[in-house]
Amino acid sequence: MSSTPVLLLLGAGSNLGSSIATTFSKAGYRVALVARSHEPGLQKNGYFHIRADLGDAGCMPGIFEEVTKNMGIPTVVVYNAVQYKLDDEKDPFATLGPETVSRFHSAMAVNGTTPVIAMHHAIEAFRKLPSDTAKGRSFIFTGNILNRAATPNRLCFGCAKTVCAYGIKMASVMYASEGMRFYYADERTSEGLPVMRDIDGTVAGKVYLDLAEAPEQRPWNYTYLKDGKYQDFEDGREYITVREASTAEFRKGGRD
Ligand SMILES: NC(=O)c1ccc[n+]([C@@H]2O[C@H](COP(=O)([O-])OP(=O)(O)OC[C@H]3O[C@@H](n4cnc5c(N)ncnc54)[C@H](OP(=O)(O)O)[C@@H]3O)[C@@H](O)[C@H]2O)c1
């Protein structure tokens, strides 16, 4: 296939998904979108649609195969799918009882484990890109504040987002030497609070395109404001560090 850049957007709906796709398409990308409700195949607007349920990561090899065959090897992968139910804010762990524990498993899959498995496939795909591919080799996960702040009625959702944040941080260090970049993107208010329903798709499109094409890895936990600018709400403190697995460090009687 030609060197036209390719966006694979996993979990594309009417809000963020649609705006991100439009921005990348206008920037000259071929666009492939994945959701459960999409009519599959090449669309009139040039997008390639794949119907898949990201609750089962077993669909991932087929998705990458189809995109590569029809649009080219993805140069940028965005994971944007979201699926969860609220937990009881007074008793969040009640969800984990036998009658409702399936909610935990599905939230973990769609928002946590499937995106981490998608990262594996993205890494494999990026390695197959021609060496002169100028832009891309970027994976962006749409996050929120839950990897940094626990909200009582979002136990399942928060566990999942945190799982993915861990994977993103690790990959941003481990694959930097191969020119790959990984981001947990999170729009916040100027006070550092979650934007909730006010999340802005147009801004996300611009920020993601900018991140996708940036030559260097920027902060992996990419908290940004409505003006699209990065804002560090942790005063530079890192809460996850990546260290060599063989380095055992014990403090106060336990491995930290
Ligand atoms: N920073 C913040 O404060 C903040 C605020 C709001 C949202 N967000 C984040 O923004 C992201 C996007 O949210 P949005 O509402 O704008 O998304 P959207 O692009 O409008 O829709 C996401 C799409 O994901 C698809 N999806 C859900 N479960 C799926 C599954 N099992 N398999 C395949 N596709 C699935 C759905 O399509 P189908 O139903 O067709 O499958 C849905 O339309 C989420 O990750 C959310 O957590 C962050």
Rounded Cα gap, residues 36 and 102, in angstroms: 19
Six-digit token pair at 134?
């100028």
Rounded Cα gap, residues 194 and 233, in angstroms: 12
Rounded Cα gap, residues 45 and 19, in angstroms: 14
Q: Is 53 in the pocket of ligand 1 (CB under 6 A)?
A: yes
Q: Are 142 and 222 contacting, i.e. CB atoms less than 8 angstroms apart?
A: no
Categorize the per-residue pLDDT at 245 as very low, low, confident or very high, splitting at 50, 70 and 90: low
Is the pLDDT higher at 139 or at 236? Answer: 139
- The set of residues, in sequence order, having a beta carbon less than 8 Å from that of 1 and lying 6+ positions away, is 68, 71, 72, 73
Categorize the per-residue pLDDT at 1 as very low, low, confident or very high, splitting at 50, 70 and 90: very low
State the average pLDDT over residues 44-63: 98
Pairing of strands 138-142, 76-79: parallel
Closest residue (by CA) to atom 48 of ligand 1?
144
SS3 228: coil
Structural domains of the chain, ranges and CATH numbers in brackets: 6-255 (3.40.50.720)
Q: Amino acid letter at 117? A: I
Categorize the per-residue pLDDT at 122 as very low, low, confident or very high, splitting at 50, 70 and 90: very high
Q: Is 20 in the pocket of ligand 1 (CB under 6 A)?
A: no
Look at residue 3 in the predicted model and tell me its pLDDT. Answer: 77
Look at residue 2 in the predicted model and tell me its pLDDT. Answer: 46
Q: Is 199 in the pocket of ligand 1 (CB under 6 A)?
A: yes
Rounded Cα gap, residues 82 and 68, in angstroms: 24
**CA of residue 34 to ligand 1 center, whole Å:** 11
